[in-house]
């Protein structure tokens, strides 16, 4: 009888060691429709990292959320219930993240965000299994506010779309900016004509303009602004100046200052290898979204090296350690699992025929988000 | 408030309205003559933008791009009409909505397949870049003035086409009684194809003109399509004159609302909430306008009794 017990115990131990098998990642991202460029970059960056690491014990399932919250929720349910993934990642938009992340983490899955960082998930709604590898939504805007102070702007005109991330953007800017506001406008989400706003900027007597208009909205604004003859300096977050968008804006973007946690000229070995491999693999320059996907994959791989994903506490500790070579250089997580990182100030330049950015300074050093204090994780 | 700022906003409203007119003229003609709800009209707008951007990048000439956009959108219109739309005239509106919605998806993914997922570059021609000085000290972008002029010329051209030509007579006849003109020996299938191609070309023209100051990207047509439907409902379905008046009404209401409402609320409330409330109300304003028009004129401003 005793022999049988020992046998069973050793069998159990054997089975447990065999179970250090594969990690399955479910990626839900936007691959069709208006915002597809962002999801494609995150996916390509992520897959490049797994390819370069040559891990055959990392399986990735990729699905397209079409930028619709209901579809993202369906896909997450499918991945959790029938695909039995260990880790979810990939979502670009904050409203989709809010629909998926809380229920995924409550079901005991890890979620690593390669982009969206809504304030609700950084503060009171933080979760031990939720990690943000990009930024908290306010971060780049805060850096822009800090830049405006150092550039001695004293009368900014600020505008953003009227939706939660837009309100976060202006809040973030105002949190750091010390000057007066010449005007504050909320535009419609998806608006493409900014003639009325530009006329108000012209009449306002502002000395600078700050705008958060992601995607096509930013392209439209910059072209119309350049044609209007208003020549106040413009500052924006990297979202309107990433590699995918700049080529469509053209000369209108040249010289514009924008804030980002990453750029292709950050001087470290990991970044140089990433930029070179990305261009070789896909034939285009990487964007900041691609860098975020790449870092997310490398974070997962670094945790796989030291812990088994089935041992959640050990795997979580390995993720928290963030022991990987980030393309941003120094990278660590704060107590709420959001990055503490430098945010740079960049300028749009033209290299040959290609529009891109170069770093001209640091906006905020070792910056953590404003919501960490509300998070109960410690 | 300075008079120059107000005058500039009126010009902006007019320009937005004229752009909406180019979009809704085709939509209202197709609905009026064929009784067809065409959700894929926004896709033809997108095709115009993409063709113009591609040809302008290849040849370096915006004008050639514009011509190609017109021709390409018209060709796409003919293709769609003969292959798909023609089978839908006898069906009810729900079938038409379903089929043309499928066309939106096909065109969007087809465009991605050909041009990739990233927005294309299209800029205004050098001749029209930068502002011009108008009376009252207004600085106004030359390109936007050109859009106003082109739009008004198209309106005049459509008016002459419909009132003064044989084709126009047939179009009007088709609107009032399509069985009768078929019985009189007019080749109705051919007439439908021409009207559809004309509407498509106008949408393509709008897409190309607007693409240069906005962004040429997949899905650019759908937001405009929604506004175009508002315009034709306000103007009266099938009426080109109604589309012109409705478009300018919507353009003015939207532009001036966005500009004036936050200022109005700021006179008696704190600035941040005035901006938020003002912007939210401004985005509802054209729908409130539409509801108001429908209460007093259920057929729209220039719609005939059905």
For residue A228, list chain B residues with Cβ-Cβ distance below 8 A.
131, 139, 141
pLDDT, greater one: A249 or A142: A142
| Interface confidence (ipTM) of the complex | 0.76
Q: How many angstroms separate the CA atoms of B301 and B306, rounded?
A: 14
Mean pLDDT, range A188-205, rounded to an integer: 87
Residue B216 lies in domain? 8-221
- Indicate the helix (H) or strand (E) that contains B258: helix B240-266
CA atoms within 13 A on the CB side of B148: 15
Per-chain mean pLDDT for chain A:
89
Which tens digits make up the pLDDT trace of A140-155? 999 999 999 999 999 9
Residue A16: is its pLDDT beyond 50? no
Q: Where does the pLDDT of residue A46 fall: very low under 50, low under 70, confident under 90, or very high at 90 and above?
A: very high
| CA distance to partner chain B, nearest, from residue A15 (Å) | 46
For residue A92, list chain B residues with Cβ-Cβ distance below 8 A.
none
pLDDT, greater one: A217 or A337: A337
Q: Where does the pLDDT of residue A20 fall: very low under 50, low under 70, confident under 90, or very high at 90 and above?
A: very low
Among A118-127, A275-284, B125-134, where is mean pLDDT lowest?
Answer: B125-134
Largest CA distance in chain B: 68
Evaluate whether residue B59 is within a structural domain.
yes
Q: How many angstroms separate the CA atoms of A328 and A342, rounded?
A: 8
For testing the chain A interface, which of B5, B7, B8 should be mutated: the one with the most A CBs within 10 Å? B8
Q: What is the pLDDT of residue B130?
A: 80
- From A247, which residue of chain B is nearest by alpha-carbon distance? B121
Q: What is the pLDDT of residue A166?
A: 87
CA atoms within 13 A on the CB side of B49: 32
Evaluate whether residue B260 is within a structural domain.
no
Which tens digits make up the pLDDT trace of B66-79? 999 999 999 999 99
Q: How many angstroms separate the CA atoms of A219 and A213, rounded?
A: 8
Query: Which structure tokens are listed for B181?
Result: 């003109």
Count Cβ atoms below 10 Å from residue B137 Cβ, excluding itself.
11
Per-chain mean pLDDT for chain B:
89
- Indicate the helix (H) or strand (E) that contains B134: strand B131-134
Residue A33: is its pLDDT beyond 80? no
H, E, C per residue of chain A: CHHHHHHHHHHHHHHHHHCCCCEEEEEEECCCCCCHHHHHHHHHHHHHHHHHHCCCCEEEEEEECCCCHHHHHHHHHHHHHCCCCCEEECCCCHHHHHHHHHHHHHCCCEEEECCCCCHHHHCCCCCCCEEECCCCCCHHHHHHHHHHHHCCCCEEEEEEECCHHHHHHHHHHHHHCCCEEEEEEEECCCCCCCHHHHHHHHHHCCCEEEECCCCHHHHHHHHHHHHHCCCCCEEEEHHHCCHHHHHHHHHHHCCCEEEECCCCCCCCHHHHHHHHHHHHHHCCCCCHHHHHHHHHHHHHHHHHHHCCCCCHHHHHHHHHHCCCCECCECCEECCCCCEEEEEEEEEEEEECCEEEEEEEEEEEEEECCCCHHHCCCC
Count Cβ atoms below 10 Å from residue B147 Cβ, excluding itself.
23
pLDDT, greater one: B130 or A106: A106
- Indicate the helix (H) or strand (E) that contains B139: strand B138-141
Contact A172, A343 (CB under 8 A): no
| CA distance to partner chain A, nearest, from residue B161 (Å) | 31
Q: Do B279 and A40 touch (CB under 8 A)?
A: no
pLDDT, greater one: A84 or B134: A84
The residue written with tokens 């010009």 in the block is: B11
Q: Where does the pLDDT of residue A14 fall: very low under 50, low under 70, confident under 90, or very high at 90 and above?
A: very low
For residue B45, list chain A residues with Cβ-Cβ distance below 8 A.
none
Task: Report the C-alpha dihedral over residues A234, A236, A242, A246, rounded to 10 degrees.
Answer: -20
Evaluate whether residue B144 is within a structural domain.
yes
Evaluate whether residue B198 is within a structural domain.
yes
Evaluate whether residue B135 is within a structural domain.
yes
Q: How many helices (H) and strands (E) does chain B have?
A: 11, 2
Nearest CB among A184, A190, A216 relative to B119 is that of A216
Evaluate whether residue B293 is within a structural domain.
no
Q: Where does the pLDDT of residue B135 fall: very low under 50, low under 70, confident under 90, or very high at 90 and above?
A: confident
**Domains in chain A, CATH or no CATH each:** 20-134+266-333 (3.40.50.2300), 139-260+344-367 (3.40.50.2300)
Q: Do A185 and B118 touch (CB under 8 A)?
A: no
Backbone angles phi, psi at B134, to 5 degrees: -115, 170
pLDDT, greater one: A326 or B222: A326
Residue A84: is its pLDDT beyond 50? yes
Evaluate whether residue B259 is within a structural domain.
no
| CA distance to partner chain A, nearest, from residue B189 (Å) | 34
Evaluate whether residue B60 is within a structural domain.
yes
Q: Do B262 and A185 touch (CB under 8 A)?
A: yes
Count Cβ atoms below 10 Å from residue B165 Cβ, excluding itself.
11
Q: What is the pLDDT of residue A17?
A: 42
Q: How many domains does chain B have?
A: 1
CA atoms within 13 A on the CB side of A117: 26
Which tens digits make up the pLDDT trace of B88-100? 888 888 999 999 9
Q: How many angstroms separate the CA atoms of B290 and B229, rounded?
A: 10
Residue A378: is its pLDDT beyond 70? no
Q: Is B282 helix (H, G, I), strand (E, B) or coil?
A: helix
| CA distance to partner chain A, nearest, from residue B27 (Å) | 21
Residue A19: is its pLDDT beyond 70? no
Count Cβ atoms below 10 Å from residue A378 Cβ, excluding itself.
6
Nearest CB among B123, B131, B283 relative to A228 is that of B131
Specify which residues A339 forms β-bridges with: A333
Q: Is B305 helix (H, G, I), strand (E, B) or coil?
A: coil
| CA distance to partner chain B, nearest, from residue A157 (Å) | 13
């Amino acid at each position: 009888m005793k022999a049988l017990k020992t046998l069973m115990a050793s069998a159990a131990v054997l089975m447990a060691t065999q179970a250090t098998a594969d990690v399955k990642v479910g990626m839900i991202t936007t691959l069709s429709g208006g915002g597809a460029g962002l999801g494609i970059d995150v996916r390509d960056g992520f897959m490049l990292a797994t390819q370069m690491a040559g891990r055959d014990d990392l399986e990735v399932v990729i699905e397209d959320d079409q930028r619709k919250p209901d579809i993202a929720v369906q896909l997450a349910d499918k991945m959790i219930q029938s695909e039995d993934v260990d880790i979810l990642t990939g979502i670009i938009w904050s409203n989709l993240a809010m629909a998926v992340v809380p229920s995924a983490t409550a079901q005991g899955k890890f979620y690593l965000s390669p982009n969206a960082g809504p304030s609700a998930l950084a503060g009171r709604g933080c979760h031990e299994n939720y990690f943000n590898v990009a930024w908290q939504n306010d971060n780049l805007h805060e850096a822009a506010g800090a830049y405006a102070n150092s550039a001695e702007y004293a009368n900014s005109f600020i505008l953003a779309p009227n939706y939660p991330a837009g309100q976060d953007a202006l809040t973030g800017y105002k949190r750091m900016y010390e000057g007066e506001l010449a005007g504050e406008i909320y535009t419609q989400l998806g608006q493409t004509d900014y003639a009325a706003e530009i006329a108000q900027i012209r009449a306002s007597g502002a000395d600078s303009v700050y705008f958060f208009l992601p995607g096509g909205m930013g392209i439209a604004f910059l072209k119309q602004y350049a044609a209007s003859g208003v020549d106040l300096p413009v500052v924006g977050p990297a979202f309107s100046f990433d590699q995918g968008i700049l080529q469509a804006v053209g000369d209108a973007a040249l010289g514009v200052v924008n804030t980002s946690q990453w750029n292709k000229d950050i001087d470290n070995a990991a970044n140089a290898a990433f930029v070179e491999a990305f261009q070789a693999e896909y034939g285009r320059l990487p964007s900041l979204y691609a860098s975020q996907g790449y870092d997310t994959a490398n974070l997962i791989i670094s945790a796989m090296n030291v812990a088994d994903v089935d041992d959640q506490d050990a795997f979580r500790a390995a993720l928290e350690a963030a022991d990987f070579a980030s393309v941003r250089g120094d990278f660590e997580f704060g107590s709420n699992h959001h990055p503490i990182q430098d945010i740079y100030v960049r300028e749009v330049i033209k290299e040959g025929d290609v529009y891109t950015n170069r770093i001209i300074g640091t906006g905020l050093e070792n910056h953590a988000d404003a919501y960490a204090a509300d998070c109960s994780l410690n | 408030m300075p008079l120059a700022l107000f005058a500039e906003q009126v010009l902006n409203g007019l320009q937005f309205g004229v752009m909406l007119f180019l979009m809704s003229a085709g939509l209202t003609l197709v609905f009026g003559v064929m009784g067809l709800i065409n959700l894929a009209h926004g896709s033809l707008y997108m095709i115009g933008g993409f063709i113009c951007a591609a040809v302008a990048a290849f040849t370096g000439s915006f004008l050639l791009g514009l011509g190609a956009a017109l021709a390409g959108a018209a060709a796409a219109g003919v293709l769609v009409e003969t292959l798909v739309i023609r089978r839908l005239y006898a069906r009810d509106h729900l079938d038409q909505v379903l089929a043309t919605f499928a066309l939106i998806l096909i065109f969007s993914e087809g465009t991605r397949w050909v041009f990739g997922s990233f927005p294309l570059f299209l800029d205004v021609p050098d001749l029209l870049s930068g502002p011009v000085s108008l009376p009252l000290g207004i600085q106004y972008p030359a390109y936007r003035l050109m859009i106003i002029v082109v739009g008004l010329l198209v309106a005049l051209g459509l008016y002459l086409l419909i009132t003064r030509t044989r084709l126009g007579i047939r179009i009007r006849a088709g609107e009032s009684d399509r069985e009768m003109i078929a019985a009189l020996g007019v080749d109705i299938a051919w007439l439908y194809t021409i009207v559809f191609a004309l509407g498509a070309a106008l949408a393509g023209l709008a897409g190309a003109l607007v693409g240069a100051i906005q962004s040429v990207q997949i899905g650019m047509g759908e937001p405009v399509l929604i506004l175009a439907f508002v315009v034709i409902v306000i103007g009266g379905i099938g009426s080109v004159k109604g589309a012109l008046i409705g478009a300018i009404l919507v353009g003015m209401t939207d532009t001036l609302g966005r500009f004036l409402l936050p200022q109005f609320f700021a006179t008696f409330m704190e600035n941040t909430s005035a901006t938020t409330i003002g912007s939210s109300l401004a985005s509802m304003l054209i729908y409130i306008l539409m509801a108001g028009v429908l209460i007093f004129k259920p057929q729209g401003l220039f719609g005939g009794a059905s």
